[in-house]
Chains A and B, each alone.
Chain A
Amino acid sequence: MVRYGMAALSLVVLGSTIAIHQPATAEAESPKIKASAHLYDTYCAQCHGVQRNGKGVNTVGLSVQPRDHSDTAGMSSLPREQMVKAITEGGASVNKSALMPSWSSVLTPQEIEDMADYLIYVCKCHQGQ
């Protein structure tokens, strides 16, 4: 019985380890939000962080701190069209860092539009709109 308990505990620990890599905001959400979260993990999280807080693994080499997408106050001042432009054309196009590249070669226009919606979702900015 104890062994079975240990096995169950191992699975819980394993599940928790896997869960730590999942964005906390992607639970039980719409397919569109989940799809954008997956793209965010693939392309954005390396700089913007697995927790969307601007603390990605690459920030060790960056001279500029990436935007914290979990910052409700900071993100609320960012117009949606500016998000789309920054993702599409890169940070320099909106007078921000050139270290943020253009993602138009990787993401489709629709995926970028959906990503802007996802960012608004992540920062909980929609609650004030």
Chain B
Amino acid sequence: MKAPVLVAACATIAVLVFAGRPAAVDAQGVSADLTTQCASCHALTKPANPSVDRLWSRKGPDLWYAGDKFNRDWLVAWLQKPTAIRPGGVMWFTHAKPGEPHDTLNTGAVEKHPVVDAATAERLADALLQLKSDGLVPDGAFKPEAVNMTMGKMAFGKLRGCVACHQDQPGQGGVSAPQLYDAGQRLRPDYVLAYTKDPQQFDRYVWMPKLTLSEPDLQRLTGYVVSLGKENK
């Protein structure tokens, strides 16, 4: 009697592990893909009931403000050849292993994003860029002419400690948060500024804390972050 129960338990675990994993996306019916395939892992509308547990259970980062966040060219290229942005996945803890001299991430276990063809990538990008935060990212907040890049790098590394969680160069910096070494290609400057200014506006429970940053701090940090990776474009 116990054996069938065990087999059923294993089968249930397997179903739970693979449930919701999106299949390949083709160029047909992008709107339907957004609402079904993409939505199986990403929040495409602002969650009505954010919580700590939602951070643990979601399978991908929120995209309900994707239109404020991403540069289209990067999005089109990335959807065709996705690479890891968060070394430990959307919730780093689930891939963390205790050890010496420090804990590590089992990066090989992080689920990979589905690949789409070029036509689908173009259409998905266009659809994603329609998703806006409804005022959280004011246009023109970033003033590039005011940026001192040396001070921005210093703020990122030593003064404000962003490097504790984010990598600004491959292999240099913390690994729990999204890497930023291609942020200049990936992210819109006004989004970087708005998110850095108050991450909890986007998610009350997200683990990037709101720092006490002056306007010049925000400008120089944003200037540094959006400079990253541009030389490789």
Chain A residues in the interface with B (C-beta under 8 A):
3-4, 7-8, 10-11, 14, 20-21, 38-39, 41-43, 45-47, 49-51, 55-63, 97-103, 105-106
Task: Indicate whether A60 sits within 8 Å of B96 (C-beta atoms), given known contacts A49-B102, A55-B102, A106-B200.
Answer: no
A38 to B91, CA, bound (A): 13
Partner of A46, one of B10, B98, B172, B207: B207
Residue of B nearest to A102 (CB): B209
Is B154 located at the chain interface by the 8 A CB criterion?
A: no
Task: Indicate whether A39 sits within 8 Å of B9 (C-beta atoms), given known contacts A21-B93, A106-B205.
Answer: no
Residue of A nearest to B168 (CB): A61
Is B173 located at the chain interface by the 8 A CB criterion?
A: yes
Q: Which of B40-48, B123-131, B157-165, B215-223 contacts A (4 or more CB under 8 A)?
A: B157-165
Q: Is the CB of B52 within 8 A of A61?
A: no
A50 to B106, CA, bound (A): 14
Which chain A positions have C-beta within 8 A of B212? 102
Interface residues of B in 59-88 (CB under 8 A from A): 88
Q: Is the CB of B92 within 8 A of A57?
A: yes
Task: Indicate whether A50 sits within 8 Å of B96 (C-beta atoms), given known contacts A42-B207, A105-B209.
Answer: yes
Q: Is the CB of B174 within 8 A of A106?
A: no
Which chain B positions have C-beta within 8 A of A60? 102, 174-175
Is B176 located at the chain interface by the 8 A CB criterion?
A: yes
Which of A10, A57, A105 has most chain B Cβ within 10 Å?
Answer: A57
Partner of B176, one of A21, A58, A101: A58
Partner of A42, one of B13, B56, B200: B56
Number of interface residues of B (CB under 8 A): 47
Q: Is the CB of B164 within 8 A of A58?
A: yes
Is B167 located at the chain interface by the 8 A CB criterion?
A: yes
Is B15 located at the chain interface by the 8 A CB criterion?
A: no
Q: Is the CB of B164 within 8 A of A61?
A: yes
Residue of A nearest to B173 (CB): A61
Partner of B13, one of A14, A45, A103: A14
Which of B101, B158, B175 has most chain A Cβ within 10 Å?
Answer: B175
Q: Is the CB of A20 within 8 A of B98?
A: yes
A103 to B101, CA, bound (A): 26
The 7 closest A-B pairs by CB, nearest first: A58-B174, A105-B210, A46-B176, A99-B161, A61-B173, A4-B3, A55-B102
Given contacts A11-B10, A98-B161, 19 further A-B contacts (CB under 8 A): A7-B7, A14-B13, A45-B93, A46-B93, A46-B176, A46-B207, A49-B102, A55-B99, A55-B100, A56-B102, A56-B176, A57-B92, A58-B175, A58-B176, A59-B103, A60-B174, A60-B175, A61-B174, A105-B198
Which chain A positions have C-beta within 8 A of B198? 105
Residue of B nearest to A91 (CB): B161
Q: Is the CB of A98 within 8 A of B175?
A: no
**Chain B 166-181, CB within 8 Å of chain A: the 1/0 string?**
0100001111100000
Q: Is the CB of B211 within 8 A of A102?
A: yes
